Structure 1
Amino acid sequence: MLISANRLSGLVAVLMLGTALPVMAADDIRRQPGQQPEANSLEQSIWEETRKSERAARTSGERNHDPELNAYLKGILDKVSGEYKGDLRLYVMNRPFFNASMAPNGYTEVWTGLLLRAQTEDEVAFVMGHEFAHFRQNHSIRAFENVKANQNAATAATIVIAVVGAGAAANAGSYSAARDISNLTRGLVDAVYLGSIAAYFGYSRETEEDADLHGGEVAHLAGYDPYAGARIWRFLLDETAASDYERTRRSPSRINIFGSHPLEIDRISAIESAAKKRGATPLSDEDLKQQRLTYRQNIRPYLAQWLRDDLRRQDYGQTLFIIERLSIDNQDQGLLNFYAAEAYRLRGKGDDLTKAVTHYQTALTFEDAPATTWRQLGDVYRRLESTDDALMAFGRYITLHPDAEDVWMVEDQMTALKSGATASVPDNHL
């Protein structure tokens, strides 16, 4: 669920005062195609707020407007959502985190960090199906109704605050801004009733499992591999383990960076069990490879930008893990070796610079190596105090790209190296 942060306090006030807002009955909880919220209901209030967030997303500088990418992803969403597709609007956001969300009014975001981590279209379809299941099953309203029945309106308000706060964070213009919104929201939750948090998170795990199963079902009915969910969730667990940061490695993986729902092994097992019950069998290695190659064709034009964005997260262990997975079929080796080298260069610990040299050199043996590879290699040689190699690499860059805008900086660097002075070329890659 997504909601604008500047409108959060008004909704919180209404809920904390215990204002009676009608909520649909439990037996009517599943949304129907084209369904609108009841007048003066909690859902209608949330819809009003999410419309404001949707307008912000529509004009956001982070929105990806590439027509081919948007059409490709909207096609996947339409297949998964079936008769509900007319209720949904999709916005692709250039954000380097694994995240997708679908608000109760059909406003849907998919972040490019998800697209970078998925290896097949089936995996993207599963995540969209998972979010669609939250939408179709009305999980946000069900969470409110569940706690309200067992506690009180003030406690139930914490449910809405927590869900809304996560959505506000996801819709923030930057990671730091999102983190600030999350901190604000946590303060509001604490002020209402700390004791309700345990009940909320327990129910959240239930709804996440429900979304896994329903999401896998709708994706399977749309012709996608029902085992794809297990693959993408397992990928996230493995990526978490590859982090440079111990705190991240020790924490359970999350469905999205602002989520409160741990991704546990038993959830993966449940997806696989459900696939078996549907009579499906895992794809053969050859079929899975073909799916990866087909998906890569669709995302190849954006791969360099997404890898650049991922490096900005500054968790180079995770970026290297992603690149390793992207390399499994020996595709795009010039590009992938270049960005592996960049990750090692930027981290710069232990023998990282030596590893960076190896990857830059490997990248240069492929035609798709970025134009800046020789320049970046020269910079690493300089840092390793290998002056002759640095001069060679810088010179090669200038020879191949004499009209590059940064040639004058590289020439200054070469002059400094020849004179024995210390100077540095600004890192204009990131």
Structure 2
Amino acid sequence: MRLKPALTLALLAALATPAAADLAPWTNLADTELRAPEETSLWREADEFDQALARAGKINADPVLAAYLQSIMDRLYPEFSGRLRVHLLNAQQINAFALPNGSVYVNAGLVARFQNEAQLATVMAHEGAHFTHRHSLQQAEMARNASAFALVVAMLGVPLVGDLAALSSMFGYSREHEREADTIGYQRLVDAGYDPRESVHTFEHLLAEIKAEDIDEPFFFASHPRLQERIDSFSELSKHASGGEIARERYLDTTAALRLASLDADLAAYRYKQLILVLGDPARRSNYPPEAAYYLGEAYRQRGEAGDPALAEAEYRRAMDAAPAFAPPYRALGLQLYKRGDKAAAAPLLQRYLELAPDAADRGHIEHYLKTLDR
């Protein structure tokens, strides 16, 4: 759904003029009721965008995950509980953004990349700061924002709702605003009892992944300071930190299914470099359920370099040993052995796959292979 052109142009004109630099941040829920007219317009458009995403089925409906993410935000910003609302987007891009009405969106692909709750809280604290300090009202970079916002909304399959171009931290916040959000977010981490030293690891992991994929402008950082600059900034902020909660086990337990689904999505998109980077690192691999070995095996198969078939077979067997009721590695290894000519070894694996996945979409395909093995 689109706003009428006249309203859109009026909004663009209003937003193209920078707001006063001394715009006071909100300190509690009552403050948010005292909005300028142009800010109320932004909120109204943000509400429409929320509704459009929900209608398009882009919001993850898992109530456990939703409650978990919301609990982190409420811990970081308790005085804005009920206004800062977290939504999990079913999207793989490394991205998170805040709207001026308090809606904070975090992509499933981003959540899946972290190792503990403190790292996830780093991003959420940052996005919450954009809301509390009203950065969307202070934006002036409309031309660049509009095209970037339209591109990402189109990729999500959601009609552009008005011109929410200056709303999110993925597009036009100035470096000054980003650094302010980092500083505020860092203090929120400390006040909430998280270990702020994890903030550095948050961006180190993402930088490594971005380098592995040769991504020039990942969505989450499209207009943020360079990742290395942010790593340096958080390193400086946390150099005297003495500790706090990391909440690794709670994070891993709550997000296990989401992270496996993210691996599956990466595999379907042939992002094998990312999979090998993440799962090939023993420290990061330990954050995933044992079924993750299958995805690493498939990543080696997709890469197809010398020695990769042996690496893939080892990972398939690792997955079968650690998660014997998980069907995919039996299929993968069975087909690999079949194509290699070892039909005797392939047959029981393919049969076991069908036993574990009787309703598999490729059942007819696998049964055809089994019939050829009986000849």
TM-score range, shorter chain: 0.7 to 0.9
TM-score (norm 1): 0.74
* Deviation for aligned residue 1:66: 1.2
- Residue pair 1:129, 1:215 contacting (<8 A) in 2 also: yes
Structure 1 residues 36 and 255, CA, compared in 2 at 3 Å: closer, same or farther?
farther
Report how far residue 385 of structure 1 moved.
4.1
Q: Does 1:124 align with 2:120?
A: yes
2-structure distance, mates of 1:328, 1:37: 45
The partner residue of 1:213 within 158, 183, 207 is: 183
Q: Distance in 2 between matches of 1:172 and 1:224?
A: 36
What amino acid sits opposite 1:374 in the alignment?
Answer: Y
- For this pair of structures, how many residues does the alignment match? 365
- Is 1:96 aligned to residue 83 of structure 2? no
Give distance in 1, aligned partners of 2:294 and 2:6.
49
After alignment, is 343-352 or 368-377 more displaced? 343-352
Map of 1:31-110 to 2, 5 A cutoff?
31-34=26-29, 35-36=32-33, 38=35, 40-41=37-38, 43-110=39-106
1:401 correspondence with 2:356: yes
Letter in 2 for 1:401: L
| 2:75 aligned with 1:114 | no
**Deviation of 1:121 (Å):** 0.4
Matched residue, 2:192 = 222
User: What is aligned with 2:137?
Assistant: 141
Equivalent pair of 1:335/1:368 in contact (CA under 8 Å): no
Q: Deviations over 1:5-34 (max 9, x none)?
A: x34965652366x56998753223423433
Residue-by-residue CA offset, 1:257-308 (whole Å, 9 max, x unaligned): 7x232433232121121123xx41367xxx86xx433321121233322221
Where 1:110 maps in the other structure, the secondary structure is: strand
What SS does the aligned partner of 1:109 have?
Answer: strand
The worse-fitting range, judged by mean Cα deviation, of 117-126 and 372-381 is 372-381
Alignment of 1:144-293 (within 5 A): 144=140, 159-172=141-154, 174=156, 177=157, 204-243=174-213, 247-248=214-215, 251=216, 254=218, 256=220, 259-276=222-239, 279-281=240-242, 291-293=247-249
Residues 224 and 172 (structure 1), Cα distance of their counterparts in 2 relative to 1, 3 Å cut: farther
Amino acid at match of 2:242: T
Partner residue of 2:168? none
Gaps of 5+ in 1: 145-158, 189-199, 420-430
Give me the whole-angstrom Cα distance separating, in 1, the residues matched to 2:308 and 2:358: 31
- Offset of residue 51 of structure 1: 1.4
Shift of 1:404: 4.2
Residue of structure 2 in register with 1:25 after alignment: 20
- Which string of whole-angstrom CA distances, capped at 9 and with x for unpartnered residues, describes residues 55-106 of structure 1? 1123332311111111111000111122122322222112122221110111
The two structures have a TM-score, normalised by structure 2, of 0.84
Deviates more, 1:234-243 or 1:86-95: 86-95
The letter for the 2-side match of 1:160 is M
For residue 274 of structure 1, what is the amino acid of its counterpart?
Answer: L
Contact 2:108 2:258 in 1 (8 A): no
Q: Kindly indicate whether the alpha-carbon contact (under 8 Å) linking 2:15 and 2:142 is maintained by their aligned counterparts in 1.
A: no
- Whole-Å Cα distance in 2 between the matches of residues 90 and 372 of structure 1? 33
Task: Give the CA RMSD over aligned residues.
Answer: 3.3
Counterpart CA distance in 2 for 1:15 and 1:302 is: 38
> Is 1:305 aligned to 2:261, yes or no?
yes
SS in structure 1 at match of 2:87? strand
Shift of 1:210: 1.9
Please state whether the residue corresponding to 1:91 is helix, strand or coil.
Answer: strand
Partner-residue secondary structure (3-state), 1:294: helix
Q: Which amino acid aligns with 1:224?
A: Y
Structure 2 gaps of 5+ residues are 166-170
Residues 109 and 326 of structure 1, relative CA distance in 2, 3 Å threshold: farther
- AA paired with 1:212? D
Q: Is the contact made by 2:96 and 2:106 (CA closer than 8 Å) also made in structure 1?
A: yes
Change (3 A) 1:122 1:281: same
Identity of aligned residues (%): 28
Asked whether the 8 Å contact 2:293–2:316 carries over to 1, the reply is yes
Query: Cα distance 1:218–1:167, how it changes in 2: closer, same or farther (>3 A)?
Result: farther
> Which residue pairs with 1:422 in the alignment?
none
Equivalent of 2:274, from 296, 318, 323?
318
Aligned mates of 2:232, 2:207 — CA distance in 1: 13
Letter in 1 for 2:96: A
What amino acid is the match of 1:129? A
AA of the residue aligned to 1:58: A
Change in Cα spacing, 1:116 to 1:20, as seen in structure 2 (3 Å) is closer
Question: Relative to structure 2, which stretch is displaced further, 122-131 or 407-416?
Answer: 407-416
How far is 1:311 from its partner?
2.1
Using the alignment, how far apart are the partners of 1:267 and 1:165 within structure 2? 25
Q: Which residue of 2 aligns with 1:336?
A: 292
Give the 3-state SS of the residue equivalent to 1:92 in structure 2.
strand
